[in-house]
Structures are given as structure tokens and as C-alpha cells.
Amino acid sequence: MQAPERLETYGHPIILIGLMGCGKTTVGKALSVLTGMPLLDTDAIIEEHSGRSISDIFQCFGEAHFRSMETALLRYLKQHPTPAIISTGGGIVVRAENRKLLHRLGFTVWLDVEVPALLARLARSTTRPLLNRPDRQEVLERLEAERRPLYAETANLALPSTHLDVHGAADCVYAAAKDFFALRS
Ligand code: S3P
């Protein structure tokens, strides 16, 4: 996989959004290689700054507190724009302020993957507090129904990626980002 030419984002990031397991981090890593831009992961930054795992934060302080941490981080990134690939937590779109910030931050792409594929990919995951329960399928279906309009509202591009492999998805995002930033320049 070779980038044909350098991608000019005029100092702005490419942001990946979508449900847990949709490939934000893996596609983000491939995009980071392709573009030469660093990969920032909002969950990892929050864990690093708080010194706690996402599961701990949910357990000790609750989901609302975690959402506030996501908002604070997005406000910071909006004030300090950086050319990076940003992989986000699946629920970052739940807050209206976050949706607005994400939409204005750079080029925001929704990796839209169907629930059965998500379930298969998440089969061995133990680090997602919202899925630490036996009825994972119902939970994911509910989250999908609730969040689909929110991802659609937030994204500059909705990429159906159930049948794309990591490099296929990264190539699509790269090509679309080139057009997006060329038109905005
Ligand atoms: C969440 C998704 C997780 C993480 C937290 C909550 C969600 O991130 O932020 O467990 O609400 O969908 P990933 O989408 O990277 O798994």
C-alpha cells in the first residue's frame, strides 16, 4: 500500500467515528502509515491523562463523566488543530456539542459496519464496559439504532465498510480526504 502523493490537510485531522468494533483503530493505523500523520486515539488519551482504564472510569464515575472527558478533549483539539488521524470512542457522538466539534474539526468519516460483523469482531473483547453483559447483540442493535442518525449528522463521509478490509477502507478514506481538503483549500 503506497500513498501516491502527500496528502495536504492544511493542518487539520482526519477523524474516524462509528460503533465499537467498526475498525476505527485498525483503519486509523493503516491511514497513519499511508499519510505519515500520527494516530491519536481519544480513549487512549483519556486513559493516559486520567491514569485509569475506560472500564474503571465507567465503574467509578459513570458514563456521563466519561462523556464530559470526551467533550473536554474535543474542545482542546478544536483549539489546537493538528494534522493527525484521530480514532474516537464509539459513543463520542452522543453529545450534541461533540457532534458539532467533530464536524468542524477536520474530515470526519463514519465507518459504517453491520451489527453481525461487529459482533463477530468483538467476540473476544473484554474491555468495553457497555458490552460486559450476556445480551451483547441486543445492546449493539439498540446502540446502532440510536446512533445511526448521530453518525450520519456528524460525518462528512459515510463509508459502508462491512465488506472492506483494513487497507481497502484506508484507501477509500485517503482518496476521499484528498478531494475534501482540495475543495476546502
Ligand atoms: C464506547 C466505545 C468505546 C469506549 C467506551 C464507550 C461506546 O470505544 O469509548 O467503552 O459508547 O460505544 P470503541 O468504540 O473504540 O470501542
**Mutate-to-test residue for ligand 1 from 15, 17, 39, 43, highest number of ligand atoms within 8 A of CB:** 43
Q: Which three cell numbers stand for residue 149?
A: 442518525
Q: Where are the beta strands (DSSP E) in 22-79?
A: 39-41
DSSP secondary-structure letter at 99? H
Domain count, the chain: 1
Which residue segment(s) compose the domain that 164 sits in?
A: 14-180
Task: Please name which of 97, 81, 112, 95 lies closest in space to residue 14, comparing C-alpha atoms.
Answer: 81
CA distance linking residue 6 with residue 134, whole number of Å: 46
pLDDT the model gives residue 150: 98
For residue 89, tell me if it sits in a domain: yes
112 alpha-carbon distance from chain centroid? 11
Per-residue tens of pLDDT for the chain, all 185 residues: 555 567 999 999 999 999 999 999 999 999 999 999 999 999 999 999 999 999 999 999 999 999 999 999 999 999 998 999 999 999 999 999 999 999 999 999 999 999 999 999 999 999 999 999 999 999 999 999 999 999 999 999 999 999 999 999 999 999 999 999 999 87
Q: Which atom of ligand 1 is nearest to the CA of 42?
A: 9
Reported pTM: 0.96
pLDDT the model gives residue 140: 97
pLDDT the model gives residue 111: 98
pLDDT the model gives residue 4: 53
What is the CATH classification number for the domain harbouring 71? 3.40.50.300
pLDDT the model gives residue 175: 96
For residue 185, tell me if it sits in a domain: no
For residue 4, tell me if it sits in a domain: no
For residue 98, tell me if it sits in a domain: yes
What spacing in Å lies between the alpha carbon of 48 and ligand 1's midpoint? 16
For residue 174, tell me if it sits in a domain: yes
Query: What is the residue with the minimal CA distance to atom 8 of ligand 1?
Result: 89
Cell numbers 477536520: residue: 106
For residue 2, tell me if it sits in a domain: no
For residue 1, tell me if it sits in a domain: no
